[in-house]
Amino acid sequence: AAGVIQSPRHLIKEKRETATLKCYPIPRHDTVYWYQQGPGQDPQFLISFYEKMQSDKGSIPDRFSAQQFSDYHSELNMSSLELGDSALYFCASSSTASAFPGTQVTYEQYFGPGTRLTVT
């Protein structure tokens, strides 16, 4: 079965540079989540998108932005990189259904292999 695809798998950047991470969700999944996992830590939610609109926002620095495109793939843009941004960045995808007007149900999330970002 097709899984979540992330690129690149590894990225080395210097401080103050920019980086773009890409995520291609499982086919027919309309919801994408981004998580950051630092060394020895659990994944922390950054931001999510449903049907190309931002659906939720977590502890994402202002230096980071993200979007979801018409083909449902998502990109996380990171600027003015800092040493502390070195981490694994995971994208997860799921499907979301409308329960009744104004509410929704999201289903299990499946994670991509991650992008390992090293800032030097």
Partner 1 sequence: RKEVEQDPGPFNVPEGATVAFNCTYSNSASQSFFWYRQDCRKEPKLLMSVYSSGNEDGRFTAQLNRASQYISLLIRDSKLSDSATYLCAVTTDSWGKLQFGAGTQVVVTP
Which residues in the 1-30 window bind partner 1 by CB under 8 A?
Answer: none
Nearest to 28 by CA among 96, 92, 91, 98: 96
- List, in sequence order, the alpha helices (H) in 35-96: none
Q: Are 4 and 110 in contact (CB under 8 A)?
A: yes
Cβ-proximal residues to 8 (8 Å cutoff; 6+ apart), any chain:
21, 115
Length of the chain: 120
Question: Residues 61-100 vs partner 1: string with x where CB under 8 A?
Answer: ---------------------------x-x-x-x-x--x-
**Cis peptide before 113, with omega less than 30 degrees from 0?**
no
Q: Is 26 helix (H, G, I), strand (E, B) or coil?
A: coil
When binding is defined by CB under 8 A, the residue of 19, 24, 26, 31 that contacts partner 1 is: 31
Stretch that binds partner 1, among 11-19, 38-46, 60-68, 77-85 (CB under 8 A): 38-46
Q: How far is the CB of 65 from partner 1 (least distance, A)?
A: 18
Per CB under 8 A, 114 contacts partner 1:
yes
| Site of interaction with partner 1 (CB under 8 A) | 31, 33, 35, 41-45, 48, 50, 55-56, 58, 88, 90, 92, 94, 96, 99, 103-114, 116
